[in-house]
Structure 1
Amino acid sequence: MFTAPGPAVRDRMLSARGHACALLGLADTVGGEVWGYAGRTLSGVVRTSTGVAWLRLVSDPQGKSGGKLWEGPREAERAVPPAVPRPRLLGLGDWSAEGWDYRAEHYEFVATPPVAESPVLHPLHQDADLPDTWWQGLHQALAHLALVRTGRQAVREQYIRRRVPEFTGVTPGEITWTTAHGDLHWANLTGPELTLLDWEGWGTAPLGYDAAHLYLHSLPVPDVAERVRKEFAHVLGTPAGRIGELTACTEILQAAERVPFYAELADGVRQYLRRL
């Protein structure tokens, strides 16, 4: 999803992946590196005695691991019902080495690919012509997720109160909270068979937050963006969902300073804010 980091980080993470495979009894494969932002995570296909699986490796400076993102996948495995389609977490392994903390997460393999390689749809090479059953499945998944009771926060109220006025000029009023995926975009959704990937950031968020993120990540492909607005018309553009929309816009505009594909999306987000 992101470009590979510099040689030092890449070599360190590849070495750690080899250790993770030994720790969890997996066999490493060559190539297929899927990198997170700044090389914090490295994911890819591995082999087991019965077939293929998926390994996600997370790293943080020693002593700074833990917290929401670190624990999200394990807590999702415990709390999110099977009615929400997601890869099952099969095993975990933690260790520290040379100033870094690592967590290896062993998942079942999901054969259906993500709808897009990037979080943001691209008009030249992305095809999101998804069947009606896919959209129905997404509605059902988010409805089941909304019922999950959790103390986790996908977005903190303090962030909303401070950053939304800064980036949008709007002072938020009362917030209607729900449980959300927290990072709903096209690289975290598979199709045509639906699976929701990447559960590190799930938790409570303003109503409409997930739908707004999916809409904003669709802006470069107007037909898909319009389909998202149609599917989520019960929250997008409504008073109840407005803070969720403002929060999603704020996060993208803030990230535009450091993430190239969000920088490209920023003008469209600002135009949407003016309409909103």
Structure 2
Amino acid sequence: MPRPRLREVHDFADQVWEYRAELYDHVAVRPIGRSPTLTTTPDLPSSWWTALRLALDDTATVATDRRTTDQQYLDWAMPRFLGTPIETRAPSWTTAHGDLHWANLTGPRLKIFDWEGWGLAPTGYDAATIHSYSLLVPGMVIRIRNEFADILSTESGRFAELVAITELLHSTTRGDNLRLADPLRRRAAHLLRRAVPSSLRTTAGGG
């Protein structure tokens, strides 16, 4: 797995919370993005995409009872941020990195950071997440859809995209990812086969 080597783990707890501290090798390369959202097109070789796909495929095979997200959250959040009617039951669940964005990826040699949130998520969640964080760069959107076409073009992939969109729209209520808000709504309308609001029809990054 292309991630820094885990050196030590320390678990501790107080009367309310349980905590885990993890010590990884120092990595002397910078992430591709300074923030999770992509704003420029990185120059990534084909070998980078192959390595990313292999890493996500390997992650998906790991058996776990950890969860990146859960059904209770989906039942609450998806109608709230996508409207109704909306299907909130995932077609299937697999293990995911859980926070796959451009500040957690290095290039041109791939390293993947920030693994504390890994666990079960709707199948296709990682591909859907990095796709959603790329909506401001149409060329990268096309590349991701091509690289992960066998995932994102399925019903599971479509659902995973709606989950990622829901979570990012939820984050905008806290003041995060505001530049993505309109492209996310356009993409959701496309996936749900709903009319795009007229105020969003000229916004970059949609479906």
Question: What TM-score does the superposition give when structure 1 sets the normalisation length?
Answer: 0.63
Aligned residue pairs: how many?
187
Check if 1:140 corresponds to 2:61. no
CA distance in 2, matches of 1:242, 1:104: 35
Whose relative contact order is higher, 1 or 2, with alpha carbons under 8 Å and at least 6 apart?
2
Q: Which residue pairs with 2:109 in the alignment?
A: 193
Q: Which residue pairs with 2:7 in the alignment?
A: 90
1:198-253, CA deviations, whole angstroms, 9 ceiling, x for partnerless residues?
A: 01110000011111110111111111111111111112132122221111000000
Check if 1:117 corresponds to 2:34. yes
Q: Which residue pairs with 2:152 in the alignment?
A: 236
Aligned match for 1:275, one of 165, 190, 201: 190
Inter-CA distance 207–92: structure 2 relative to 1 (3 Å threshold): closer
In the alignment, is the contact (CA less than 8 A) between 1:112 and 1:193 conserved in 2?
Answer: no
CA distance in 2, matches of 1:211, 1:269: 15
CA distance in 2, matches of 1:157, 1:96: 26
Gaps of 5+ in 2: 192-207
Q: Which residue pairs with 1:45 in the alignment?
A: none
CA distance in 1, matches of 2:139, 2:99: 21
Is the radius of gyration larger for structure 1 or structure 2?
A: 1
Gaps of 5+ in 1: 1-83
Inter-CA distance 108–173: structure 2 relative to 1 (3 Å threshold): closer
Inter-CA distance 186–257: structure 2 relative to 1 (3 Å threshold): same
CA distance in 2, matches of 1:109, 1:119: 20
RMSD after superposition? 2.1
**Secondary structure in structure 2 of the residue aligned to 1:235:** helix
Inter-CA distance 202–104: structure 2 relative to 1 (3 Å threshold): closer
Aligned match for 1:253, one of 169, 178, 191: 169
User: What amino acid does structure 2 have at the position aligned with 1:245?
Assistant: E
Question: What TM-score does the superposition give when structure 2 sets the normalisation length?
Answer: 0.83
> Displacement of 1:168 after TM fit?
1.2
**Secondary structure in structure 2 of the residue aligned to 1:224:** helix
User: What amino acid does structure 2 have at the position aligned with 1:213?
Assistant: T
User: What amino acid does structure 2 have at the position aligned with 1:152?
Assistant: R
In the alignment, is the contact (CA less than 8 A) between 2:100 and 2:129 conserved in 1?
Answer: yes
In the alignment, is the contact (CA less than 8 A) between 2:132 and 2:161 conserved in 1?
Answer: no
Aligned-residue identity in percent: 48
In the alignment, is the contact (CA less than 8 A) between 1:154 and 1:204 conserved in 2?
Answer: yes
**Secondary structure in structure 1 of the residue aligned to 2:23:** strand
User: What amino acid does structure 1 have at the position aligned with 2:59?
Assistant: L
CA distance in 1, matches of 2:28, 2:6: 15
Moved over 6 A (4+): 94-97
Inter-CA distance 268–176: structure 2 relative to 1 (3 Å threshold): same
Inter-CA distance 105–228: structure 2 relative to 1 (3 Å threshold): same
